[in-house]
C-alpha cells in the first residue's frame, strides 16, 4: 500500500478542518484513508506551509 499524496487543495481543507476541531480520523476517512502523519505534516507546517486555510469545508465533508 502506498501513501496518498497530499495536494495544496487538500492541505487548505485539512487546515480548516483541524482549526474547527475535526478529528484526524474524520479527515483521513474523507480522503480515503489518508495517513495521520500526512495530516500532522500539514497542521505542523511541514507540508504546504504557504497554502492558506480554506474558506469553507466541501459540502460533503463530515461536520462535527
pLDDT in tens, 41-61: 999 999 999 999 999 999 999
Query: Could you give the number of structural domains in the chain?
Result: 1
Q: Is residue 62 part of a domain?
A: no
As given in the structure block, the three cell numbers for residue 40 are 500532522
61 inside domain:
no
User: What average pLDDT score do residues 2-11 get?
Assistant: 89
For residue 29, is it within any domain? yes
DSSP states of 13-55 as a string? Answer: HHHHHHHTT--HHHHHHHTTS--HHHHHHHHTTSS-TTSPPPS
Q: 35 in a domain, yes or no?
A: yes
pLDDT, position 31:
94
> Is residue 2 over pLDDT 70?
no
Give the C-alpha separation, 37 to 60, whole Å. 23
Domain that holds residue 27: 8-43
pTM over cut 0.75: yes
**2: helix, strand or coil:** coil
Amino acid at each position: 500500500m502506498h501513501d496518498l499524496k497530499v495536494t495544496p487543495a487538500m492541505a487548505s481543507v485539512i487546515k480548516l478542518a483541524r482549526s474547527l476541531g475535526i478529528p484526524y480520523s474524520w479527515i483521513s476517512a474523507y480522503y480515503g484513508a489518508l495517513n495521520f502523519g500526512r495530516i500532522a505534516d500539514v497542521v505542523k507546517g511541514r507540508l504546504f506551509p504557504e497554502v492558506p486555510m480554506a474558506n469553507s469545508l466541501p459540502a460533503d465533508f463530515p461536520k462535527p
